Amino acid sequence: MSDIQGKVVIITGASSGIGEATAKELASKGAILVLAARREDRLKQLQEEIQNGGGQAIYKVTDVTSNEQMEELAEFTLKSFGKIDVLVNNAGVMPHSFLYKKEIDDWNKMIDVNIKGVLYGIAAVLPSMRERKEGHIINVSSVAGHVVGAGSTVYASTKHAVRAISEGLRKEELINNIRSTIISPGAVTSELIEGVTDPDLVPVIEKLYEMAIGADSIARAIAFAMEEPADVAINEMIIRPTRQER
Ligand SMILES: NC(=O)c1ccc[n+]([C@@H]2O[C@H](COP(=O)([O-])OP(=O)(O)OC[C@H]3O[C@@H](n4cnc5c(N)ncnc54)[C@H](OP(=O)(O)O)[C@@H]3O)[C@@H](O)[C@H]2O)c1
């Protein structure tokens, strides 16, 4: 029996891309899933697909930028299954632009979803994990959490923040046996690049994503981190296309 079997896992951003692939991978390994995102039709479709394949999943429409909704998501999970073993803080947006273009709404969106959403998620699950002295929080950062490129300054800042938050979390909660994992993907096929609309950056991104790898590779990395015994923490993984230079 794998160490994923029977684990109760919340996945944010489960309605597409990496979140959706992770839900399918973990369901196939016996996890009990709580799917969260804003698009209900997508969540419902994924829930049905998982259930038809013999897996277990429920969903809750959740906007990660709302602390209240993140707390409700944790409460819903605890009411439904009595525990939260793993939170996959995966929801994210990437509307790249150059700083001089002053796309303040996009900056705020990235800060709200990519940073505050991750913090609200952590805050929502920590009380029950601390009480049980057991748990695992997996935060999806990016290669942009390691490398800053022209046009990706704000996105990269948010992804650097995700790594800083994860490391702080690790140090604060190791005493409570709570594991912290940073997943840093390179170019992965998903809907993420649809958020890039700046005409100066669209061709750059399209070129980079010609080499994009499947979201299933990231899903397997997440499963690997979960499968290790509770006294082993896989703290960080970078998963790039082989041909991606930076
Ligand atoms: N694809 C890549 O190349 C790549 C590389 C490095 C890191 N990442 C990271 O991987 C994560 C997943 O992205 P992806 O590539 O799978 O892109 P995606 O297909 O666009 O998925 C993003 C997910 O985030 C959700 N989301 C966005 N805003 C939200 C909000 N306010 N509240 C709740 N959910 C929200 C979306 O669902 P709804 O719209 O239904 O809410 C969607 O399910 C992100 O953190 C991204 O930064 C991706």
User: CA of 163: how far to CAs of 26, 96, 143, 177, in Å?
Assistant: 23, 19, 11, 19
| pLDDT average, residue stretch 64-70 | 98
Give the up-direction half-sphere exposure of residue 65: CA atoms within 13 A in the CB hemisphere. Answer: 10
21 CA to centre of ligand 1 in angstroms: 12
Q: What is the pLDDT of residue 40?
A: 98
Nearest residue (CA) to ligand 1, atom 45: 92
Instruction: Choose, from 59, 120, 155, 209, the residue flagged as catalytic.
Output: 155
- Which residue segment(s) compose the domain that 154 sits in? 8-237
Burial class for 131, CB neighbours closer than 10 Å (0-12, 13-18, 19+): exposed
Asked if residue 64 belongs to a domain, the reply is yes
84 CA to centre of ligand 1 in angstroms: 22
Q: What is the pLDDT of residue 108?
A: 98
Beta bridge partners of 183: 140, 237
Q: What is the pLDDT of residue 149?
A: 95
246 or 44, which is more confident?
44
Asked if residue 167 belongs to a domain, the reply is yes
178 CA to centre of ligand 1 in angstroms: 24
Q: What is the pLDDT of residue 33?
A: 98
Q: What is the pLDDT of residue 28?
A: 98
Per-residue pLDDT tens for 150-200? 999 999 999 999 999 999 999 999 999 999 999 999 999 999 999 999 999
The yes-or-no answer on residue 209 being catalytic is no
Beta bridge partners of 134: none
- Which atom of ligand 1 lies closest to the CA of 140? 45
Per-residue pLDDT tens for 118-142? 999 999 999 999 999 999 999 999 9
DSSP per residue, 198-232: -TTTHHHHHHHGGGPBPHHHHHHHHHHHHHS-TT-
Asked if residue 111 belongs to a domain, the reply is yes
217 CA to centre of ligand 1 in angstroms: 16
Asked if residue 244 belongs to a domain, the reply is no
| Mean pLDDT score across all residues of the chain | 97
Q: What percent of the chain has pLDDT over 90?
A: 98
Nearest residue (CA) to ligand 1, atom 43: 13
Tokens of 223: 């499963």
How many independent structural domains does the chain possess?
A: 1
3-state secondary structure of 183: strand
CA angle 212, 215, 218 (to 5 degrees): 105
| pLDDT average, residue stretch 26-44 | 98
Residue whose structure tokens are 């960080």: 236
Asked if residue 37 belongs to a domain, the reply is yes
Q: Which residues line ligand 1 (CB under 6 A)?
A: 12-13, 15-19, 37-39, 42, 62-65, 90-94, 113, 140, 142, 185, 187-188, 190-192
Is the dihedral angle over the CA atoms 48, 50, 52, 56 positive or is it negative?
A: negative
Q: What is the pLDDT of residue 2?
A: 63
User: CA of 90: how far to CAs of 14, 18, 206, in Å?
Assistant: 8, 8, 22
| CATH assignment of the domain containing 191 | 3.40.50.720
pLDDT over 60 (residue 104) = yes
Asked if residue 2 belongs to a domain, the reply is no
pLDDT over 90 (residue 217) = yes
